[in-house]
Structure formats: structure tokens, C-alpha cells
Amino acid sequence: MMLSRRQSESMGDGGAPGSVAASRRRTRARASAAGRRAPVVAAFLLAAGLTLLAASCAGPEAETGPVDRKVLVLGIDGLEWDIMGPMMETGRLPNFSRLVAEGAWGELRSLEYLESPMIWTSISTGKLPAKHGIMGFTAKGGGRGGVVITADAREARTVWDILGEKGRTVGVTNWLVTWPAEPVNGYLVSDYIKFDWRGVGRKQEDTTYPPDLAEELEDLVVRTEDVPDERAGEFVVGGLPVADEFENRVRTLKSCIAVDETARRIAFHMAETRPTDFTAVYMSGVDYVCHHFWVDAFPGTGDPVSDRESELFGEVIERYYQEADSVLGEFLELADENTTVIVTSDHGHSGPKLRGDKYAIGIAMHDPTGFIALWGKDIAGGRELSEPSVLDITPTLLALYGLPVAGDMDGRVLDEAISDEFLARHAVSSVDTYEPDTSGMEEDESESPVESPVDDEIKERLRSLGYIE
């Protein structure tokens, strides 16, 4: 959370310091509102504490010290059990089915507010938004659509920060709210790598760490207009429509494909050229297609689409899940016997919500229950997790690496997912916190979001998803 040069600029004469300050006040106000959920936090902490207490009584054979392990976290936004269940039963998602059959799985509980940036940051910190400070896509100020919230607003350390400090190499690709890219013990390809930096009058500085990585990855970025018609046609019944009237819908489909194709290509390039102990990859296409093609698949559940559209685009969602399954299969091929894989969503999807006589879209389409599965080394097979939460992922990752869980985290170790043998050898321990001691330091302005030259493109995407006005 450094005050970067770019941020200093944005807060100077050329920027809009008033709006940034306003957004910060707004963030603070929302943070304190979220703080009223303290009893929930207390319950979480109590549960986590009891787990720790029980685990610390493990036998004398318990080992301490580093665990040699690789972990891949594949984050897929918006995975919905109600869609996956029937597809798994009919054999159409073989790789997800394999995870569930051989691993530990559950219905993942999300947060009270279903805004992806705050949830993915809770996943990567183990903390509620009131503690990590990422309160949504945008904050008030900054003109139409508000200020886009960036990584500078994050007030908690991520699991990759902690793992890196403990000597593990880490690699992060496309995780939400990771721009400007902060230094890590490995690489970080921020979620801004995919935006169009051409013609904005500056280089895409700070989209990656190390900074010179951005240039190497430039050719791997797939833009909407790069997606061939035949590729988009794979998701459309009978192939691509020739009628110009569906041009916008095809373009939308291509934009969904482009963002995931970018993340996939970069993640595999990095895995091949810079393998790391910990790898996290985020993909948003499933969520996007659910927003854009829900009513085609489930006619009558939102503002009507024509029969022709429903016929053409009615299978986009299912076909996209099959695409996600095949990408998962590729990732599983990368996993050796020393690798643990966690596949997680942030929330599920349940379509537009009728409010009065209008259908609400955007965040209203998110469902509080998502998908999670753990698989591979030291995972107990065939177990259903007991009310797993997005807050539990970071504590579980730390435990899998034999590292203490922090008392100021709001989740618990999903110990029922971990083999009894591993837990007996590596008792879960705890520390008070991994946060730096900032007492006595003057609070600077580094928590404010940073403006970027691609903000308009980002806000346009958020608007198309119905997330912002």
C-alpha cells in the first residue's frame, strides 16, 4: 500500500483530489456500517479459536516448519450449483465432477453484500470488508459512475503477501482489485492487464509485477475484436447468426470469451515459464455470461428476449460452463502429486429479481451460495464441507502450508477438507496478526483509490453488467 508516483499525480492539480477524498469518506462510512456485523465475526472467531485449541492438542509426533507443497487456487466468478448439479449428473462437467468425487466440496457461503471485488478480497485476506477496506466496484466521486476502487484501498495483507514473506514463491493472475500491482515474492499480473491501454496516451505501467512483465504478456492479451466469429459461434445454437440485428449480443459474447482467454493464456504462460509454490488465477467469464444470457436460457425470468434470441443464445450459459470445465481440466493436468487445487466462486447466480414491476439486474442477480471444492495432495476425499465460507479460504491455505492462522482473520480452517494424517503432523497454530504494526505511524492518503487512464473502459463494462448506473 505504497503511495505511488501515479497516485501522487492523481491527487495533484491534474487530478480530482476532492473526489478522491469524498470516496474515502464514503468508504469509511460503509466500513463502519459493515462493522455492525461484529457478532457474526465473534462467532467466526470463536469457532476458529476452538478449532485451533483442539488442533494444538495434537500428539508429540506433530511437526512444525515449512510444508513443501504447491497450491493452485482457481477462482471462477459466479459458479452456481443449481446450474452445475444437473450438468454434473449428466456427465457434462467431467472435471468439476472429478473434483467433487475425489475431493472435498461444499455450498460456499458468501458475504452479506454480493459485490465481487469485496468478496474476492475477503477470499484473499480471510477478512470481512470492514477490515480489508475494498467495499465494491466503485466509490462516490470521480464523475459519472464514481471512482473505480483499486488495490491501494486494501487495508489488509493478502495470503500471497503472507506466503511470500514466509519464503514461498507466489504467482497471481487477473485477481480482482490487484491494480496497481504491488511487489510480491514472484509475479503478479493485475486485473488491469486485459484493458485496452492503446491510445490512452501512456504505457500500461503498474499492470504487472515485475513491471517489465507487462511487455512480455502484451501479445497474450485477447481483445473482444480478436475473438474469431467461429470461436463465438461455439456457444451459439447452430453457430453464429448472420443477421446484423444480433451484432451487439455477439460482441457481448466475444467480450466474455476475451477476458477469460486472456487470463487462461497468461496463467499457462506463467506456469510454464515461472512456476511458483502458490498460484492464484481469477476468471470472470461465467459470471459475465450469466448476466448477459440468463433470460435467453430461462425465458420469463427477466425482461423478455425474442424467441429467436432464446433459440440462438439459450445454451450460452451451459456451453460456457463446459468451457470452464475444459479449462479446469487443463489446470488439473498441470497439477503434480505435490499440488493441492482449490476451485472457488465468490457467489452463485439466480437471475434477475422482480422488484415492483421492474426486473433488477447486476448485483441483484447474485445468489449468496457459491461453489467450492478442494482436491489433490492432503485433501480428504469424498467429504462435504460444513458451511464453508469465502472467509475460510485464506486460513485453510495457511494451514495447508503449515503456517499459523491469524487471530484477526474472520474465517476458520476447513479442517474437514484436510486429511487427518496431515493435520496430525502439522497441528494448526495461530498468531495474533500478520498485519504490520502501524501504531505511531501517521496515516497517509495511500488508502484512496487511484485513477487510471482505462477507468472509462472499466466503468463501461460495469455498466453493461448492470453493476453501476
Least Cβ distance, residue 77 to Zn ion (angstroms): 6
Q: Which is nearer to Zn ion, 188 or 365 (CB)?
A: 365
Q: Which is nearer to Zn ion, 78 or 164 (CB)?
A: 78
Q: Which residues contact 107 (CB under 8 A, 6 or more apart)?
A: 81, 369, 370, 371, 387, 388
| Main-chain dihedrals φ then ψ at residue 345, nearest 5 degrees | -105, -175
Q: Which is nearer to Zn ion, 258 or 406 (CB)?
A: 258
Q: Which is nearer to Zn ion, 363 or 379 (CB)?
A: 363
Least Cβ distance, residue 358 to Zn ion (angstroms): 19
Calculate the CA dihedral of residues 116, 117, 119, 120 and round it to 10 degrees.
Answer: 100
Q: Is residue 151 within 8 Å of residue 168, measured between CB atoms?
A: no
If one asks whether residue 392 binds Zn ion (CB under 5 A), the answer comes out as no
Q: CB atoms < 10 A from the CB of 358, how many? A: 10
Kind and range of the H or E run holding 248: helix 247-273
Single-letter residue type at 262: T
For residue 10, how far is the Cα from the chain centroid?
27
Instruction: Find the residue with minimal CB distance to Zn ion.
Output: 287
Segment contacting Zn ion (CB under 5 A): 96-104, 163-171, 284-292, 393-401? 284-292
Least Cβ distance, residue 71 to Zn ion (angstroms): 26
Least Cβ distance, residue 160 to Zn ion (angstroms): 24
Q: How far apart are CA 307 and CA 312, in angstroms?
A: 9
Q: Which is nearer to Zn ion, 346 or 378 (CB)?
A: 346
- The helix/strand/coil state of 429 is coil
Q: Which is nearer to Zn ion, 287 or 325 (CB)?
A: 287
Least Cβ distance, residue 78 to Zn ion (angstroms): 5
Q: How far apart are CA 38 and CA 156, in angstroms?
A: 17
Task: Give the interface size with Zn ion as a residue count (CB under 5 A).
Answer: 1
Least Cβ distance, residue 82 to Zn ion (angstroms): 15
Q: Which is nearer to Zn ion, 261 or 287 (CB)?
A: 287
Q: How far apart are CA 463 and CA 469, in angstroms?
A: 6
For residue 78, how far is the Cα from the chain centroid?
10
For residue 280, how far is the Cα from the chain centroid?
9
Least Cβ distance, residue 257 to Zn ion (angstroms): 16
**Residue-wise over 390-423: b if at least 16 C-beta within 10 A, else e?**
bbbbbbbbbbbbbbbbbebbbbbbbbbbbbeebb
Least Cβ distance, residue 83 to Zn ion (angstroms): 14
Least Cβ distance, residue 167 to Zn ion (angstroms): 36
Segment contacting Zn ion (CB under 5 A): 133-141, 205-213, 283-291, 368-376? 283-291
Q: Which is nearer to Zn ion, 184 or 458 (CB)?
A: 458
Q: Which is nearer to Zn ion, 284 or 396 (CB)?
A: 284
Distances (CA, A) of 379 to 53, 176, 282, 415: 21, 27, 22, 9
If one asks whether residue 287 binds Zn ion (CB under 5 A), the answer comes out as yes
Segment contacting Zn ion (CB under 5 A): 19-27, 65-73, 286-294, 434-442? 286-294
Residues 395-454 that bind Zn ion (CB under 5 A): none
Segment contacting Zn ion (CB under 5 A): 193-201, 263-271, 279-287, 329-337? 279-287
What is the contact surface with Zn ion in residues (CB under 5 A)? 287
